């Protein structure tokens, strides 16, 4: 049973849309990350994706690369990230997802990683550089109770989208553009997003990469089950106060433009 899938389904069955927020672990202040996370959920986020920092984040644009660099300089690693998750989980039942690259997981140890996910309350993981062909070897039985979320892109063939849908649990992450993460303000790929949704039989679909404003969030949500906002949040945090007023206001504004059902 997937907590994330059930959570999303409960909302979308009532015609609501999911707002998922991405934060880099320990950014911008390592001692205020739990506070930032909980305030983001209170401001209107349905789910939280926590990116654990890595020195070579190939799929990420300049903003998230910078946030990862700052987090690493602050001494944030996977062990500290799990401490954050545990602190957040004590105060919320909303889905918590870890997102990052395979290298830190392998360094931490796959079994240690899966065990820490279960112990601290992680509901799902997104490891974008693990392809389907390496699924069985990486996500062994220790991940049985943790959702494994895969990505599709505008260049993913239809048959592979179906295969990803079959292997994914929780939801399918639809990357809106060909390229790295980053704020954009265009809707060139709405047809691709609509078509991809029709190919999924098992999972709901959330759209991320390039969701930079209330307008893009609303446009993408109309063709999916919700959106994931990352770089736009990180950009605001770079210049926000220690109370995160600008960031929390933006999350609240995103919430207002998306149909909302309280879960």
Q: Is 79 exposed, middle or buried (0-12, 13-18, 19+ CB in 10 A)?
A: exposed
Question: CB-hemisphere CA count at 13 Å for 155?
Answer: 3
Note if 165 is an active site residue: no
Q: E-assigned strands of 44-183?
A: 47-51, 96-99, 124-126, 147-148, 151-152, 172-175
Note if 158 is an active site residue: no
Catalytic residue among 60, 225, 235, 240: 60
DSSP state letters, 16-75: --EEEEEEETT-S-GGGHHHHHHHHHHHT-SEEEEEPP-S--TT--HHHHHHHHHHHHTT
Catalytic residue among 14, 31, 35, 49: 49
Active site residues: 49, 60
């Amino acid at each position: 049973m997937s907590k994330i899938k059930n959570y999303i389904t409960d909302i979308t069955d009532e015609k609501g849309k999911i707002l998922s927020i991405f934060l880099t672990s320990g950014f911008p202040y390592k001692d205020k990350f739990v506070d930032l996370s909980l305030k983001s959920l209170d401001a209107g986020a349905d789910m939280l994706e926590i990116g654990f920092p890595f020195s070579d984040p190939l799929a990420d644009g300049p903003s998230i690369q910078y946030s990862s660099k700052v987090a690493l300089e602050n001494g944030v690693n996977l062990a500290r990230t799990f401490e954050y998750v545990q602190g957040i989980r004590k105060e919320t039942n909303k889905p918590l997802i870890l997102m990052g690259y395979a290298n830190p997981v392998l360094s931490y140890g796959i079994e240690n990683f899966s065990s820490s996910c279960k112990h601290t309350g992680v509901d799902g993981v997104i490891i974008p550089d693990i392809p389907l062909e390496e699924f069985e070897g990486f996500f062994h039985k220790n991940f049985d109770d943790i959702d494994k979320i895969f990505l599709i892109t505008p260049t993913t063939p239809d048959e592979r989208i179906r295969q990803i849908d079959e292997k994914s649990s929780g939801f399918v992450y639809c990357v809106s553009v060909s390229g790295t993460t980053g704020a954009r303000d265009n809707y060139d790929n709405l047809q691709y997003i609509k078509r991809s949704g029709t190919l999924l039989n098992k999972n709901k679909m959330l759209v991320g990469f390039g969701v930079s404003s209330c307008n893009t969030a609303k446009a993408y949500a109309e063709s999916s089950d919700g959106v994931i906002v990352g770089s736009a949040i990180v950009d605001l945090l770079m210049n926000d106060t220690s109370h995160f007023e600008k960031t929390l206001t933006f999350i609240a504004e995103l919430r207002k433009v998306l149909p909302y059902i309280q879960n």
